[in-house]
Structure 1
């Protein structure tokens, strides 16, 4: 027999032995040790995490509105604002702007009433003051900052936001991050608010703090 023939036979024998060892080892595994990825689970299980309105992991209780608000990231990515699975404001919709992005929602039906962006760096704060003074009773006020929400902020505007239930409007300043949901004539401070001060020692981005994300379920007015 030629050398090449011997080598072929030896290779075949090695392959057979190796295959037998692998099969034997696999048969020795307990089925309990086999863990499939979630997306490969049986049809009786969820193939992926169920998403609810606005991407929430859990559904909101009856008579509550689902929401998710994100502030802008530095001066690069604009804020997003979702309410009852409706994306009210976002960079994709091209209806956000530098400063404060505000949407009004009917506190009973959840219908969007209006949305607007106010430039708080080079704009006229009088436009913001007028908008806040004309908020109808029963409306929810959703706010998300982008880039700079505080340079043009006036004492009057701070007072109006405070009357909507804000705990941080009085200290809102240059390039701070802020998300907030309030309403007129609240009996207490709103539980839906996040604030992050612009601080060179703790900023996530160069010159700006980290973006804020707030989500949850808000009951109809009043809170």
Structure 2
């Protein structure tokens, strides 16, 4: 009897140690990743350098032909999980980079080189929409913009802001509403409607979360901007 109890205790000890080792490895991996990013950005814009390939939502992105950039976007989930934007299997916006927040999250990409420039998040619940408008107007021609909603992307949107995003190729921005889930990729100066957009309306009878619809995911291959 004592021999069996001792064996059980030994097995339990091995299981606990294995779990502890696994947790430590996860923490170390996340710590080494976090140390490879820039200083925390402001809520409106920042410069982002290349980072190591992500082991999370950025892994296994689409395989794209030459002359294209692969991307993956996940909108926020309710007001709990922040959005994620990946480029070439690398995280460029998200909670781990401390550059995501409530409202509309944006990554600006050089359409020719694929280099990430500015990122920003803009509070559209009770923030100042002019900050978003100024940001969009300052974006250079030939840039690609990747956008994702979090919490509420639309309460403070006005006609001017909607028009600027519509000019980037968005079809849903005209009807984007309170607490909708939305992701979008567009180009400044392309003059075309984008094929990269998903939108789920917030509906009290259909929402997956209390007060919010389900998150939306979008991935694909962005062609290089050609003059």
Q: TM-score, normalised by structure 2?
A: 0.72
Q: Which residues in structure 2 correspond to 1:82-101 (within 5 Å)?
A: 82-101=86-105
Q: 1:54: Cα distance to partner? A: 3.6
In structure 1, runs of 5+ residues without a counterpart are 1-50
Q: How does 1:126-165 map to 2 (within 5 A)?
A: 126-165=130-169
Report the structure number with the largest CA radius of gyration.
1
For residue 94 of structure 1, report the CA deviation from its aligned partner: 1.8
Consecutive unaligned residues of structure 2, counting only runs of 5 or more, are: 1-54
Confirm or deny: 8 A CA contact 2:142 2:188 kept in the other structure: yes
CA distance in 2, matches of 1:57, 1:128: 29
- SS for the counterpart of 2:96 is coil
Task: Confirm or deny: 8 A CA contact 1:166 1:182 kept in the other structure.
Answer: yes
Tell me the alpha carbon deviations over residues 10-62 of structure 1, each in whole angstroms, 9 at most, x when there is no partner.
xxxxxxxxxxxxxxxxxxxxxxxxxxxxxxxxxxxxxxxxx9x9433652111
Could you tell me which residue of structure 2 aligns to residue 56 of structure 1?
Answer: 60
> Residue 68 of structure 1 aligns with which residue?
72
Q: Distance in 2 between matches of 1:143 and 1:55?
A: 19
Alpha carbons 2:168, 2:188 under 8 Å: kept: yes
CA contact (8 A) 1:107 1:221 kept: yes
Taking the aligned partners of 2:62 and 2:212, their CA distance within structure 1 comes to 32
Q: Residue 187 of structure 1 corresponds to which residue in structure 2?
A: 191
1:119–1:82 Cα change, 3 Å? same
Aligned 8 A contact 1:121 1:148 in 2: yes
Q: Given the alignment, which residue of 174, 182, 187 partners 1:170?
A: 174
2:205, 2:223 → 1: CA distance? 37
Deviation, structure 1 residue 84:
1.6
Report how many residues are paired: 172
Instruction: Determine if contact 2:62/2:70 at 8 Å carries over to the other structure.
Output: no
TM-score by length of 1: 0.74
Per-residue Cα deviation, 1:112-151 (whole angstroms, up to 9, x for no partner): 0110110001110000001111110111001000000000
- 2-structure distance, mates of 1:72, 1:181: 16
Does structure 2 retain, via aligned residues, the 8 Å contact 1:78–1:91?
A: yes
